[in-house]
């Protein structure tokens, strides 16, 4: 249904109206799916597979799942697009983000790599202002800054916990944020399935040579984990694409903080890495920041949003209200 509704909007040549409540729900679910995927990726790399091989097989399996859908819907021209360069750039950014993060979780605890990755909302906010001309109000800035304070509480820079590998999630987050901004830029003009298919195809073409050079045959269990990674990839991408076509990038960005909750749970139950008290405090601050943004969005529901306009377009007026 999501693909069909996006397709109708594209066919009519108009943008969809913002639906921030639904977009937030979809994005929160996407964060759970992506964190589970990262846990599976960490397990496969700890089992000996090179990150390039894991990423190549992940994208290869996703392409294998998408080909029957493309064939079945061929008359609808599921790959037709008027923005091939944006698709290619999005594919390059997301394959870079995926590969860098797999390298990160191979070395770092999952919850640590996830926490460092919380710099992505900062990149998203900057990119949304520069490239999308979105307006970000003081209250939302405050929530994002509070989230960054929570990240610092988890990372404790300047201590023995720091290592050069921690730069990998930062670079991964920058690529990820760029991909999200491009998704927002294509809203109302591309179908969700078209975006997913192009991104996956471009990513596979780019990573395949590196994966083949470092090829290692997976075990039966690793194949099962890779299949789970592929399914999480499709589900997470579709949910994210849909969410960013229904709300502004700067609105959704703070909700990526919730992944620390799922990363901490997976780290504890799957890898035996129990977070300490500062990590718990930081995670609480991050969750509070996301919940505050959600609360602010609820208080603005009485203000109409022009169909196709960013929800942030009405933010300056709303920020004149008392907190």
Among 69, 242, 68, 98, smallest CA distance to 168 is for 98
| Cα→Cα distances 34→41, 88, 173, 240, Å | 10, 22, 13, 10
Residue carrying structure tokens 């990262």: 38
Q: Beta-carbon neighbour count of residue 212 at 10 Å?
A: 11
Between residues 313 and 215, the one the model is more confident about: 215
Least-confidence region, from 53-57, 261-265, 306-310: 306-310
| pLDDT(56) > 80 | yes
Q: What is the pLDDT of residue 257?
A: 77
Q: Beta-carbon neighbour count of residue 317 at 10 Å?
A: 11
Give residue-wise pLDDT tens across range 85-98: 999 999 999 999 99
In contact, 282 and 154? CB cutoff 8 Å: yes
Phi, psi of 161 (to 5 degrees): -70, -20
Instruction: Report the C-alpha gap between 104 and 107 in whole angstroms.
Output: 6
Q: Beta-carbon neighbour count of residue 309 at 10 Å?
A: 14
In contact, 172 and 303? CB cutoff 8 Å: no
Q: Where are the domains of the chain?
A: 2-12+21-312
Q: What is the dihedral of CA 253, 183, 231, 213, to 10 degrees?
A: -110
In contact, 274 and 281? CB cutoff 8 Å: no
Instruction: Report the C-alpha gap between 213 and 209 in whole angstroms.
Output: 6
Which contiguous run of DSSP H or E holds residue 103? helix 84-107
In contact, 111 and 276? CB cutoff 8 Å: no
Q: For residues 165-178, give the mean pLDDT.
A: 89
In contact, 256 and 28? CB cutoff 8 Å: no
Q: Interhelix angle for 120-132 vs 167-185, to 10°?
A: 30
Q: For residues 290-294, give the mean pLDDT.
A: 64
Q: Interhelix angle for 84-107 vs 51-72, to 10°?
A: 140
Q: What is the pLDDT of residue 305?
A: 30
In contact, 49 and 216? CB cutoff 8 Å: yes
Instruction: Report the C-alpha gap between 150 and 55 in whole angstroms.
Output: 30
Give residue-wise pLDDT tens across range 176-198: 989 988 988 887 788 888 988 99
Confidence of residue 293 (pLDDT cuts 50, 70, 90): low
Confidence of residue 234 (pLDDT cuts 50, 70, 90): confident
Kindly give the residue spans of alpha helices, DSSP state H, lying in the chain.
2-12, 20-46, 51-72, 84-107, 110-116, 120-132, 138-155, 167-185, 192-213, 220-244, 249-252, 259-271, 277-299, 315-318
Q: What is the pTM of this model?
A: 0.74
Give residue-wise pLDDT tens across range 2-11: 333 333 333 3
């Amino acid at each position: 249904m999501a693909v069909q509704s996006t397709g109708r909007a594209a066919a009519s040549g108009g943008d969809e109206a913002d639906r921030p409540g639904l977009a937030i729900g979809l994005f929160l679910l996407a964060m759970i799916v992506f964190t589970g995927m990262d846990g599976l990726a960490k397990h496969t790399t700890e089992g000996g597979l090179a990150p390039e091989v894991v990423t190549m097989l992940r994208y290869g399996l996703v392409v294998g799942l998408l080909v029957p859908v493309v064939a079945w819907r061929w008359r609808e021209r599921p790959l037709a697009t008027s923005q091939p360069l944006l698709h290619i750039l999005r594919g390059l950014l997301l394959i870079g983000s995926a590969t860098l993060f797999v390298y990160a979780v191979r070395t770092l605890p999952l919850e640590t790599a996830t926490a460092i990755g919380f710099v992505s909302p900062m990149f998203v906010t900057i990119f949304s202002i520069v490239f999308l001309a979105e307006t970000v109000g003081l209250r939302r800035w405050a929530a994002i800054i509070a989230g960054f304070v929570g990240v610092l509480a988890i990372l404790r820079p300047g201590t023995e916990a720091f290592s050069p590998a921690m730069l990998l999630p930062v670079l991964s987050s920058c690529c990820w944020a760029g991909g999200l901004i491009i998704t927002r830029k294509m809203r109302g003009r591309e179908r969700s399935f078209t975006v997913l298919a192009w991104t996956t195809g471009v990513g596979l073409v780019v990573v395949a040579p590196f994966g083949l050079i470092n090829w290692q045959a997976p075990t039966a269990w690793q194949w099962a984990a890779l299949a789970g990674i592929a399914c999480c990839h499709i589900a997470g991408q579709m949910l994210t694409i849909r969410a960013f076509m229904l709300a502004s990038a700067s609105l959704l960005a703070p909700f990526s903080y919730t992944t620390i909750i799922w990363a901490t749970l997976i780290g504890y139950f799957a890898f035996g890495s129990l977070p300490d008290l500062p990590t718990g405090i930081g995670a609480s601050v991050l969750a509070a920041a996301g919940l505050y943004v959600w609360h602010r969005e609820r208080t603005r529901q009485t203000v109409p949003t022009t169909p196709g306009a960013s929800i942030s377009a009405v933010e300056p007026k709303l920020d004149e209200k008392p907190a």
